[in-house]
Amino acid sequence: MSASVARVHSSMPSRAEPPHAGAAHIRAKPRTTYLFLTAWTDFAFMTTFTTSSVYAIVEVGLNPLQLLLIGAVLEGSVLIAEVPTGIVADAYSRRRSVILGYAIMASGFFVWGSAPRFETILLAQVLWAVGFAFTSGAQEAWISDEVGEERAGPIFLRAVQIGQITGLIGIFVGVSLAVVSLHLPFIISGVLFVVLAGVLFILMEENNFNPAAGSGEFLGTLRSGAQMIRKRSVILFSLAIAAIFGASSEAFDRLWPAHLLEQVDLPTLAGLDPLVWFAVIASGGLLLGVGVTEIIKRAGAVTTRSGPARALVGLNLLLGVALFAFAFMSSLAGMVIAYWIITALRRASGPVYLTWINRGLDSSVRATVLSMHSQADSLGQVTFGPAFGAIATIRSIRFGLAVGALASLPGVALLAFAGRLSTGNRRWMWVAGAWAGLALTFRLTPAFALSCAIGIGVMAADRDYRSWLRDWSGFAGGLLAVAVPVTLWFAASVGPERLWAEIVVRPVTMMALQTLPMPDIVWPDFGDRVSIYRWFVAVQFPGILFFYAGCVIALALAWLRAIRSGKPFEHVLLLTTVMWGAIYFIRSLRRSDESHIDSAIPPVCLLIAYLV
């Protein structure tokens, strides 16, 4: 991308290009164009993605680890491409960025269906990801500028509803094509995206675009986007949440078809091909999603101040329950119903989350900041995706899905705390505590890190100790409301002695037996990849330790300055994010191996991006 900046600079105008005189009379209204764009893309995506996993499992013969590696390559490519392409959209033209993105995406689909090989699929993921990165953030920024951010929220919800209907049609079209050949849906989707790029070239107008920097300065746009994040720490907080949800969603997206095929034998449906089952399963989720999205819309999730945070907590609470239920289902009916609920909740939460982060963004850097959120989601998927695949391969697919569902718990608790800060309503603390209690029933360290971080955030947000006590009491009440009944149920199931041994004696003993010191840093042999790899792992431990120490010291000094000046501390959410990551990282110092340091990477990457 950077090598072509000079060419892009000379070829793209520094302001919105006027419509061609001969085509001006057929330009569509922005709202109509955006709804058409969403409807067409959902139809094209579902034509392929309904059976793409079947293609990978049956035609190519991939195992769970390879499925997650495909996801890692896809999201890793998105991770690299998101910000540069977002800057192109902000500095030059959102319209051109969207059109170019769908053209590149089409080439990815053509490659994907060209040959049933693992390497071919990996190449297709890279092409598809680059195309997606050009559209991600750009089309949302475009419609927000054309109609205004207040009107954009309802349009996002309406677009999702229309897209679910056209996606439903795409499901059955894709399955019909896959019955003929599993390659065919990819080719047809490629053709559809080529057509879309041509239609957008004619219909899409751009009247309210203001370049982020004079004369199309690429680095200037990047600096402006970074300054926006630094001014609004809630954006950084939402980046952390996006990374957590990305990690959780990756396991489900890649493993659910394999879990279904492993657990049940799909019965014959009216004598039709078994692939029809995937159409039935996918279509039910989309139909349910239309209803859930309408409920969210009427509840004011995108039109009131506290609506987005409240809706996101509720949706993701239900989503976590559904993910766990799917992991442990063995019957076809139960797995299908759980899948429908998961799909509907995820589809409904997308526009709400987009509305939440879109509020108050500077138009000149809107696409860049929105791209950073997509990048954070990819970061979570890249970091944890291969780990979930390894777990599913070594243990079981069911276990990998359950671990992936567990990864979403901190995100919901952090969302609830953000709701407390933005609305002043202390009931959010009870919700945050309840999710920390649920996390506690599965793993001590994440719940402990989360609880400590939120507790410190409460102290930073208010200097009245009575307010601290009320917030802490609400958090503790929610935590105990979940943890105590679960603990009593465990005790009744296995006995108090066995429960004590498992939750106290065994972890303490294992920690003592498996303690590993930080590895020595030995200068690598740059001709040996294993030597470079070991050096890199060893360097991370002291590097991350000093990084967190610096962040904590800097924030502590800022906190003290705010107290002395009598001003509110402005970086409560940033401090909460730092403390959550730092406390969670401490466990890596007790058992200093690769797997433990890997799990601590996402907060570090987000904080480094913030500082840069």
Q: How far apart are CA 184 and CA 177, in angstroms?
A: 6
- The pLDDT value recorded for residue 461 is 87
- Residue type for 437, please? G
What DSSP assignment string belongs to 51-101?
HHHHIIIIIS---HHHHHHHHHHHHHHHHHHHHHHHHHHHHT-HHHHHHHH
Q: Which of 27-41, 211-225, 320-334, 559-573 has the lowest mean pLDDT?
A: 211-225
Kindly compute the dihedral angle of the four CA atoms of residues 442, 593, 392, 407, in this order, to the nearest 10 degrees.
Answer: 40
Question: Encoding tokens for residue 556?
Answer: 């502590």
> How buried is 37 (Cβ within 10 angstroms: 0-12 exposed, 13-18 middle, 19+ buried)?
buried
- The pLDDT value recorded for residue 389 is 67
CB environment 178-201: b (16+ within 10 A), e (fewer): bbeebbbbbbbbbebbbebbebbe
Domains and CATH numbers, the chain: 27-387 (1.20.1250.20), 408-513 (no CATH), 516-612 (no CATH)
Give CA separation, 129 vs 81, 132, 432, in Å. 8, 5, 34
**Is the pLDDT score of 17 beyond 80?**
no
**Is the pLDDT score of 132 beyond 50?**
yes
Do residues 137 and 86 make contact, with C-beta atoms less than 8 angstroms apart?
yes
* φ and ψ of 516, to 5 deg: -125, 130
User: Greater confidence, 596 or 206?
Assistant: 206
Residue 304 DSSP SS3: coil
Q: Which of 136-140, 226-230, 444-448, 467-471 has the lowest mean pLDDT?
A: 226-230
Residues of the chain above pLDDT 70, percent: 76
Give CA separation, 379 vs 47, 136, 239, 242, 499, in Å. 27, 15, 10, 9, 36
- Cα(first)–Cα(last) distance of the chain, in Å? 19
Beta-bridged to residue 269, according to DSSP, are 272
| Nearest of 237, 235, 244, 201 to residue 366 by alpha carbon | 235
CA 181 to chain centre: 32
Q: Which of 152-166, 201-215, 429-443, 484-498 has the lowest mean pLDDT?
A: 201-215
Residue with tokens 């449906």: 269
Band of residue 473 on the pLDDT scale cut at 50, 70, 90:
very high
**Is the pLDDT score of 270 beyond 70?**
no
What integer is the mean pLDDT of 155-179? Answer: 85
- The pLDDT value recorded for residue 472 is 92
| Nearest of 152, 141, 157, 139 to residue 348 by alpha carbon | 157
Q: How many other CB atoms are found less than 10 A from the CB of residue 48?
A: 25
Residue 341 DSSP SS3: helix
Question: Encoding tokens for residue 348?
Answer: 């409904």
Do residues 293 and 347 make contact, with C-beta atoms less than 8 angstroms apart?
yes
- The pLDDT value recorded for residue 102 is 93
Give the pLDDT confidence of 352-406 residue by residue, as tens digits. 777 777 666 665 556 666 666 666 776 777 666 666 666 676 677 787 777 777 7
**Is the pLDDT score of 120 beyond 80?**
yes
Residue with tokens 């139960």: 334
Question: Encoding tokens for residue 98?
Answer: 């969207």
**Is the pLDDT score of 495 beyond 50?**
yes
Beta-bridged to residue 272, according to DSSP, are 269
Q: How far apart are CA 367 and CA 382, in angstroms?
A: 22
- The pLDDT value recorded for residue 9 is 34
Residue with tokens 């239609």: 199
Give the pLDDT confidence of 292-311 residue by residue, as tens digits. 877 877 777 666 666 777 77
Do residues 473 and 465 make contact, with C-beta atoms less than 8 angstroms apart?
no
Q: Could you give the count of Cα atoms lying within 13 Å of 155 in the half-sphere of its Cβ?
A: 25
| Nearest of 475, 454, 461 to residue 583 by alpha carbon | 454
CB environment 356-371: b (16+ within 10 A), e (fewer): bbbbebbbbbbbbbbb
**Is the pLDDT score of 507 beyond 80?**
no
Q: How far apart are CA 174 and CA 109, in angstroms?
A: 13
For 341: left if phi > 0, alpha if psi spans -120 to 50, otherwise beta; the answer is alpha
Band of residue 233 on the pLDDT scale cut at 50, 70, 90:
low
- The pLDDT value recorded for residue 536 is 79
CA 399 to chain centre: 21
**Is the pLDDT score of 192 beyond 90?**
yes
**Is the pLDDT score of 2 beyond 70?**
no
Under DSSP, the state recorded for 25 is G
Q: Which of 35-44, 82-91, 346-355 has the lowest mean pLDDT?
A: 82-91
Most confident of 18-32, 467-481, 493-507: 467-481
Band of residue 220 on the pLDDT scale cut at 50, 70, 90:
low
Give CA separation, 95 vs 99, 138, 143, 163, in Å. 6, 8, 10, 20
- The pLDDT value recorded for residue 442 is 67
**Is the pLDDT score of 154 beyond 70?**
yes
| Nearest of 76, 85, 136 to residue 350 by alpha carbon | 136
Under DSSP, the state recorded for 543 is H
Residue 209 DSSP SS3: coil
| Nearest of 152, 88, 68 to residue 387 by alpha carbon | 68
Do residues 79 and 379 make contact, with C-beta atoms less than 8 angstroms apart?
yes
Residue 591 DSSP SS3: strand
- The pLDDT value recorded for residue 335 is 85
Do residues 171 and 284 make contact, with C-beta atoms less than 8 angstroms apart?
no
Q: Which of 14-28, 137-151, 280-294, 569-583 has the lowest mean pLDDT?
A: 14-28
- The pLDDT value recorded for residue 223 is 55
What integer is the mean pLDDT of 199-217? Answer: 71
- The pLDDT value recorded for residue 231 is 55
